[in-house]
Amino acid sequence: MIFLQRDDASLRYTFDWSADVPAGVTLSSAVHTVPSDLTLVTEDTDTLAQTSTIQMTGAHHGGIYLIKALALLSNGEQVPGEAILRVFNG
């Protein structure tokens, strides 16, 4: 996924867990890990939409970043996820 950001702007990325949550189970929470050169500003979990959203700062032009996530489901199951983000300053 490619993101265009203005200098010193923050990035938001949303993980959609809906395909990973079985019927009768809900998304309880999610935890996210970003590379050390990024700063995780906020992370929110929307249990109804079955998504988790993070806001990050510190991305550099042309940078490629691996964002890792772990969704925690109401049945105790843990679902890993990841996203590769490439950033261009516009």
What is the band of 60 on the pLDDT scale with cuts at 50, 70, 90? confident
How far, in Å, CA of 90 to CA of 80, rounded? 31
Residues 16, 19, 20, 23: is their CA dihedral positive or negative?
positive
Number of separate domains in the chain: 1
pTM above 0.85, yes or no: yes
- Note the pLDDT of residue 90: 63
Give the residue numbers spanning the domain of 79: 2-89
Q: What is the pLDDT of residues 19-57, one digit of tens each?
A: 999 999 999 999 999 999 999 999 999 999 999 999 999
**Residue 8: pLDDT above 90?**
no
For the cut 70, the answer to whether the pLDDT of residue 2 exceeds it is no
* Position 5 pLDDT exceeds 70: no
d(CA 34, CA 68) in angstroms, rounded, equals: 7
- The domain that holds 20 is classified in CATH as 2.60.40.10
Cα separation, 66 vs 83, whole angstroms: 6
